[in-house]
Amino acid sequence: MWLFQESGFRRREVNAEYRLREAFETARNRNKIKRRYRELIEPNQSMFLHAASPRSRIRFFRSFCQEFCEHFDLHPHNRYPDQPLFLITIVDVECCVSVDDSEIDIDRIRQRLRFRMPGISFVGCIEPGLYANKATGSYGAGKSAVSWHFHGIAWGLSKSEMRRRIDALEKRGRYLPIADGLAGVHSKPIHPSEFARTLGYPFKSPRNEYRLRKILSSADEQPQFQQFVSTLRKGNQLNLFNQCKALYLDDLLLASGEGVGILAKTMKTALAEFRRRSAKPISRGRKRCS
C-alpha cells in the first residue's frame, strides 16, 4: 500500500517496540510491569489492537491508510485530497492524571476531549503525554503529570474558516491547557509534501516527554510558559505503558462526520484476523468507532 509505505510509520513503531523491550530489561522501574503485560507487544498479540502495542498500531494504521485512500480516491497519481486537511490538537487540564496512576478513567477523558463542529469531519486518537517537569505556576497538582490529549486529521472547511472556528473555540475557553502560554485547541494545515508522514501522527506510540519553563515577566503580568520536548526516557516510557496496558486502541479513537465511516471500515479490516480466530464475544471497547 503506497501511502502506508511512504508514511514511515512502520519503521518508527518498530523502533518504539525496540525501545520498549530495552526498557523492560534496563529501566529502574522495570519491575512494575508484570510479565503478562510485557507479552502485549509480541507479534501474535497485534490482532487484539492493544493500545500499548506498537505492532497493533502498525496493523491499525495499515488498514486506515487503505480506507482513507478509498474514501478520497487517492493513488500514486493523485496523492492528496481535493480539499484541505488539518492536524488538530485538543488539550485540557482536566485530562491530566498522576504519573503513578495505573487505572485510567478513559470514558471521562473521551467525553471531555470529544468535540463536534458543523461541517467538520475528523478521525484521530487520544494519546498520553508525560510532563516530567511542569514548573511552578502551571495548572494541576504535582511537579509531573500525564496529559491525555487528542490528535486528529480533519477536513471539510477552507483554511480561513477552520482558523476562524478554532480561534473562536480557543477564545471560549472550552479547553484549558496545562499552563498559560499554551493552546487548548490548535489546528495546522497539512501540506501535500508532509501528508504521508503527518497522517500517521495521531496514531503513533508515545515517543516524547515534555518540560515546562516559566518565561520571565514583570511582577504585574500573568506568568507564561514555554514547552520543551525531548525523547521519552526509559522509565517514563514504562510509566506510559503502565497507563495504556489495559486499554485497546478502540478506547482511544474518536471520529465525527465522514470520519465515522472511515474508522468503522478500518476497524473491521484491522480486527478481521481476531474475528476469524476467536468465537468469543468482542470486548466492550472494540465496539467503539465514533
pLDDT in tens, 30-49: 999 999 999 999 999 999 99
Query: Residue 81 sits in which domain range?
Result: 2-287
The SS3 of residue 150 is: strand
> So what's the pLDDT on residue 283?
47
Backbone angles phi, psi at 138, to 5 degrees: -80, 165
Rounded CA gap, 19 and 207, in Å?
Answer: 10
Q: Which residues pair with 279 in a beta bridge?
A: none
Q: Which three cell numbers stand for residue 86?
A: 488539518
Average pLDDT score over the chain: 91
In the predicted model, what is the mean pLDDT of residues 75-103? 95
* CB-based burial label for 202 (10 Å; 0-12, 13-18, 19+): buried
Give the mean pLDDT of 188-193: 97
How sure is the predictor about 280, in pLDDT bands with cuts at 50, 70 and 90?
low
Instruction: State yes or no: pLDDT of 281 exceeds 80.
Output: no
DSSP 122: E
Q: Does the structure show a pLDDT above 90 at 24?
A: yes
pLDDT of residue 53: 97
Which candidate, 106, 21, 5, 22, places its Cα nearest to that of 58?
A: 5
Q: What is the pLDDT of residue 139?
A: 79
Nearest to 194 by CA among 84, 91, 119: 84
pLDDT of residue 135: 80
The count of domains in the chain is 1
- The residue written with cell numbers 509534501 in the block is 193
The per-residue pLDDT for range 53-83, each reduced to its tens digit, is 999 999 999 999 999 999 999 999 999 999 9
The per-residue pLDDT for range 211-220, each reduced to its tens digit, is: 998 886 655 5
Give the whole-angstrom CA distance, residue 86 versus residue 191: 9
**Helical pair 54-72 and 258-270, crossing angle rounded to 10 deg:** 130
pLDDT for 140-152, tens place per residue? 767 899 999 999 9
Contact (Cβ atoms closer than 8 angstroms) between residue 154 and residue 61: no
Cell digits for 183?
493552546
- Quick check: 284 pLDDT over 70? no
- Return the amino acid letter for 247: L
Q: How far is CA 39 from CA 52, 58, 65, 237, 254, in A?
A: 10, 17, 27, 16, 27
How far, in Å, CA of 13 to CA of 232, rounded? 14
Res 172 pLDDT > 70: yes
Give pTM, 2 decimals: 0.91
Dihedral pair phi/psi, residue 220, rounded to 5°: -95, 5
